[in-house]
Amino acid sequence: MLFLKNQERQKNAIVLPGVIKFNKKTCPPVIMDDYQIILQKYLPENSLDLIFEWIKQYKIHLRITRTRRSKLGDYRQAHNGSPHRISINNNLNKYAFLITLVHEIAHLVVFEKYGNRARPHGKEWKLVFRNLMNPFIIEKVFPDDLSAIIYQYLQNAAASSNTNILLARALKKYDENEVSGVHIEELNENTVFKLSNGKVFKKLEKRRKRFKCVNIESGKYYLFDPLARVIPLEDELA
């Protein structure tokens, strides 16, 4: 598993069609188009074919879940006719999603090969993970700056280490919401948000066509164009 903190229950998961009831008896045809359309939203385009191959080959029951603070993804072993299950958070950017998915598939491959004899992120897992990541490096799926850090990470991949932090930081750059934010008109009144320069405001009422906002630090009021891009921090902070 790729953990952040303690476990949290997952709610409102999206289960990819075609594997939703996958078991020994009911072996539904994988609905290729649906699968690919959904996966396209989450993965870099030139990684899709290979990931799709693995999902079919290992009969993976893949769930794309709501954001869990405790972990980015997890893997549960196949047993008693139920398939291998992998879940990945829906808020990851494409590169983070791919790395997390490959991380979990590596657990699956290790389980198939060694059962429970190998440690979760032991040398067997590291080797498998590196081998699974290789084709994406060769295909230049990642931008150059990320590629260099991923290469380092693969030399000593572990669930928690310095290289993990470096990689997490490098991946964060590609978080769209963090970079581009949302339009201020999409936020509820009283939502606290920040601008790309780090200044923090609270959205207040609409004044004619613009939104009145208060700078939390200075207490000064400003009017924002409804299409201004901001980064929401918290809903309705009192």
Decide: helix, strand or coil at residue 199. coil
Contact 234, 192 (CB under 8 A): yes
List binders of Zn ion among 123-182 (CB under 5 A): none
Backbone angles phi, psi at 156, to 5 degrees: -150, 60
Q: Please, what is the minimum distance in Å from the beta carbon of residue 30 to Zn ion?
A: 25
Nearest residue to Zn ion, by Cβ distance, number only: 1
The piece of 1-9, 46-54, 171-179, 203-211 that touches Zn ion (CB under 5 A) is 1-9
Q: Please, what is the minimum distance in Å from the beta carbon of residue 120 to Zn ion?
A: 6
Given the complex with Zn ion, which of 1 and 118 has the nearer CB atom? 1
Q: Please, what is the minimum distance in Å from the beta carbon of residue 71 to Zn ion?
A: 9
List binders of Zn ion among 2-31 (CB under 5 A): 2
Given the complex with Zn ion, which of 2 and 101 has the nearer CB atom? 2
Q: Please, what is the minimum distance in Å from the beta carbon of residue 104 to Zn ion?
A: 7
Q: Please, what is the minimum distance in Å from the beta carbon of residue 106 to Zn ion?
A: 8
Backbone angles phi, psi at 104, to 5 degrees: -75, -35
Copy the structure tokens of residue 97. 């999603």
Distances in whole angstroms, Cα of residue 42 to Cα of each of 47, 71, 134, 169, 176: 10, 17, 20, 19, 12
Contact 129, 99 (CB under 8 A): no
Q: Please, what is the minimum distance in Å from the beta carbon of residue 62 to Zn ion?
A: 16
Given the complex with Zn ion, which of 99 and 228 has the nearer CB atom? 99
Cα 138 from Cα 106, distance rounded (Å): 18
Q: Does 118 bind Zn ion (CB under 5 A)?
A: no
Q: Does 1 bind Zn ion (CB under 5 A)?
A: yes
Cα 120 from Cα 141, distance rounded (Å): 26
Distances in whole angstroms, Cα of residue 121 to Cα of each of 2, 104, 110, 195: 10, 11, 10, 39
Given the complex with Zn ion, which of 2 and 187 has the nearer CB atom? 2
Given the complex with Zn ion, which of 76 and 210 has the nearer CB atom? 76
Given the complex with Zn ion, which of 102 and 192 has the nearer CB atom? 102
Q: Is 136 exposed, middle or buried (0-12, 13-18, 19+ CB in 10 A)?
A: buried
Chain positions contacting Zn ion, by CB under 5 A: 1-2
